[in-house]
Amino acid sequence: MEFKNPFWNRLFNSISKTGSGEKMQEDSDYRADNLTQEGQTFGEEQAAREEQAVREEPSAVTRAMINQLVLPLEHPFILLYELWTEEHADAPLPHLRLDDIEDPSNEAMERELARLRKEITAAATSRLEEIPRKLEEDDTSDTLEGTPEGEEAAAEGSGEEQEVLPVSMDALPMVYVTSDRMAAWLVVFPPVGPGAVLNRGMLDEALKASGVTYGVDTELLDALSDRPDRYFHLFLAAKGQPVVHGKDGYVEDFFKRAVKQKFAEDEHGRIDYFHLNLVQNINKGEVICQAVPPVEGVPGRTVLDQEIPCKTGKEVRLPKGRNTEISEDGTQLLAVKDGRLEFTDNVFKVKSVLEISGNVDFSTGNINFVGDVHIHGDVSGGFSVKTVGDITIDGVVEAAEIEAGGDLIVAKGILGDSRAVIRAHHNIFAKYIENCTVHSRGNLQTDCMVNCNVYCDGEVHVRTGRGIIVGGRISAAQRVDAKIVGSKSESVTYINLGGQPCANYERAILEENIGAMEAELEKLDRQPDSPARTQRIGKLRLDLSIGRMKLGQFDKELKKLKERLDAQGGCKLKCDIAYPGMVLTIGDAVMHLAKETSSVNARMFEGEILLL
């Protein structure tokens, strides 16, 4: 050790004041040996306790090991404890564990334990260094050197042992404030020799010196002086008030924002197109959603009585759209009229629904409406139905023109007679589709498709019911999925995959119109001047300029769409049976099917079409 054994014998008043030098040396040697034995016993007991705890509750031990400050046996704190146990053999073991607060992350706890170790090391080292200074002061004050009495005593018998006064140091509380200043911990070093034992005044003075004034555990301070584990034990003396940040307000919806198509099939694989559950009906005055107000935060306070500001919750804005209004108290969004509710452009909208109880024929004329249309009968040949919303038709569509700004649902099917033109800017659902031209910006779902020209920017699904595609030309941007493609009679059926079929078709029509206008303009240039010619040339040039601008815009959009599709992956054809007569085109590759093929999964691979 750093100090001689006689020095240790004077700590904690641990030896008698009289005795031979030889006896003192023997006692010192004995105590030095005991220090090592005591340290080993302490380590063994601690290891045994931890091993037993692991068996009983591994998770609790893991937390305890994370929160516990482990010190080596030669640490000043342990040395002080071992010396204290020489006079107090039944003293409780040291306890240096931050286990009375909520566990932070492992990394944060490691940093906190490192700070605690540094401060405890400094305090214990300072206390050990204070002891030799006390000894020197005591030796100086107790020596009678330079007096007649001192000379006489020195002459009479140098062999007699001089009376030695014990070192006296009061109990010393040490306060540790965590790095976030949310907790103050207290550990007390015991008195040395006849020094004063721990009392409440010492604790108050130590906390005051550290600036700890908030959240002090007064019950602990009142009882600590009488507790058997008051020394070498880490106590939570004060705890701050954690900050509670405010929570942002949010919108509680009573209707769905996204309605997914649910195809309910019967035992024969048939879908009831009358009940697709795609429409959310709402009545006037019904609550669409409500705003939940934000929760105010609560400022925190450190043990040093410093305020911790809190974040305030933000107000939420109700998604108000067309035909909706906000209630007087500003907390609810209400429907202004009856209609169909949908969520688009980040707002709720109520769309009016035009109900046609019978057929669209001479009794109704053509339909052109800004909302949704529900036709309970058929659409007769020669008539048209155009809306900016969805169209629901309970009957059959004949050789008519249908254009929906949203979804199109035809419960019974379409009999186009090679004259019907069907357009939808979203999805199309129909029982069957025969002899018509179809444009779908979204997906197309049907049970059967015969001799149709289809342009679909999404996927074509013909899996339910018969699930057959026969004849015609099917162009899909992403995928065609059917049970059967073609027929045993080898009807020619074209399947084109890739690109943007609707946009490509519209671009081709626009390019054709531009060519016709250029030809007409060239013809007019050769005619003699006249007011009619001048007026017609002016209109043609204006239309031609607009057409070319549209064509340039088409090319830009097609380029962006192509990049997006390339990022999504390749397109493919999937069917259970493909008959001869099917012509599959993917990009620039073309494949003519020469024989009946089962379980077709066709896609492009290294510039060629493979049937996997």
C-alpha angle with apex 551: 555 to 474, nearest 5 degrees? 65
Which residue matches tokens 């007699």? Answer: 160
* Residues written for the chain: 612
pLDDT exceeds 90 at position 142: no
DSSP 169: B
Q: Judge contact between 484 and 468, C-beta under 8 A.
A: yes
Q: Judge contact between 399 and 420, C-beta under 8 A.
A: yes
455/505 Cα distance (integer angstroms):
8
Reduced to 3 states, what is the DSSP secondary structure of residue 29? helix
- For residue 29, give both structure tokens: 């040697």
The one-letter code for the residue type at 150 is: G
Q: At a CB cut-off of 8 Å and minimum separation 6, what does 143 contact?
A: 150
The sign of the torsion formed by the CA atoms of 134, 136, 141, 144 equals positive
Phi, psi of 531 (to 5 degrees): -60, -40
Which of 459, 483, 446 lies closest to 577 in space, CA to CA?
483
Beta bridge partners of 391: 373, 408
The one-letter code for the residue type at 200 is: R
66/93 Cα distance (integer angstroms):
19
Q: At a CB cut-off of 8 Å and minimum separation 6, what does 16 contact?
A: none
Q: At a CB cut-off of 8 Å and minimum separation 6, what does 307 contact?
A: 299, 300, 301
pLDDT exceeds 80 at position 14: no
Which of 90, 88, 106, 89 lies closest to 98 in space, CA to CA?
106
Q: Judge contact between 599 and 482, C-beta under 8 A.
A: no
pLDDT exceeds 50 at position 564: yes
pLDDT exceeds 70 at position 43: no
Maximal C-alpha separation, the chain? 154
Q: Which pairing describes strands 448-456 and 433-440: parallel, antiparallel, or unpaired?
A: parallel
Arithmetic mean of pLDDT, 376-404: 93
- For residue 405, give both structure tokens: 């700004």
Poorest-pLDDT segment among 114-118, 147-151, 448-452, 537-541: 147-151
pLDDT exceeds 80 at position 545: yes
Which residue matches tokens 């999404």? Answer: 458
* pLDDT value of residue 100: 58
Q: Judge contact between 280 and 258, C-beta under 8 A.
A: no
Domain boundaries, the chain: 5-144+168-239, 353-498+568-611, 499-567
pLDDT exceeds 50 at position 20: no
Each residue of 299-352: pLDDT tens digit? 999 999 999 999 989 999 999 999 999 999 999 999 998 888 889 889 999 888
Which of 459, 485, 481, 439 lies closest to 565 in space, CA to CA?
459
Arithmetic mean of pLDDT, 477-499: 92
Helix/strand/coil (H/E/C) assignment for every residue in 397-412: ECCCEEEECCCEEECC
Q: Which pairing describes strands 582-586 and 493-497: parallel, antiparallel, or unpaired?
A: parallel
Which of 461, 551, 460 lies closest to 506 in space, CA to CA?
551
290/326 Cα distance (integer angstroms):
9
Q: Judge contact between 446 and 466, C-beta under 8 A.
A: no
435/396 Cα distance (integer angstroms):
13
25/310 Cα distance (integer angstroms):
65
Which of the residue ranges 248-262, 466-480, 540-554 has the most confident prediction, judged by mean pLDDT? 466-480
pLDDT band at 74 (very low <50, low <70, confident <90, very high): confident
The one-letter code for the residue type at 366 is: N
Q: At a CB cut-off of 8 Å and minimum separation 6, what does 197 contact?
A: 171, 190, 191, 225
Q: Which helix (H) or strand (E) holds 304?
A: none
Higher-pLDDT residue of 462 and 550 is 462
Higher-pLDDT residue of 277 and 235 is 235
410/378 Cα distance (integer angstroms):
9
436/438 Cα distance (integer angstroms):
6
Q: Rounding to the nearest 10 degrees, give the CA dihedral for residues 27, 32, 33, 35.
A: 120
602/584 Cα distance (integer angstroms):
9
User: For residue 491, what are the CA distances in angstroms to 452, 579, 590?
Assistant: 13, 8, 17
Arithmetic mean of pLDDT, 589-610: 88
Q: Judge contact between 278 and 261, C-beta under 8 A.
A: yes
Q: How large is the C-alpha radius of gyration of the chain?
A: 46
Each residue of 234-250: pLDDT tens digit? 999 999 999 999 999 99
User: For residue 517, what are the CA distances in angstroms to 69, 326, 349, 521, 526?
Assistant: 89, 52, 41, 6, 15
pLDDT band at 273 (very low <50, low <70, confident <90, very high): low
- For residue 443, give both structure tokens: 């997906």
565/587 Cα distance (integer angstroms):
12
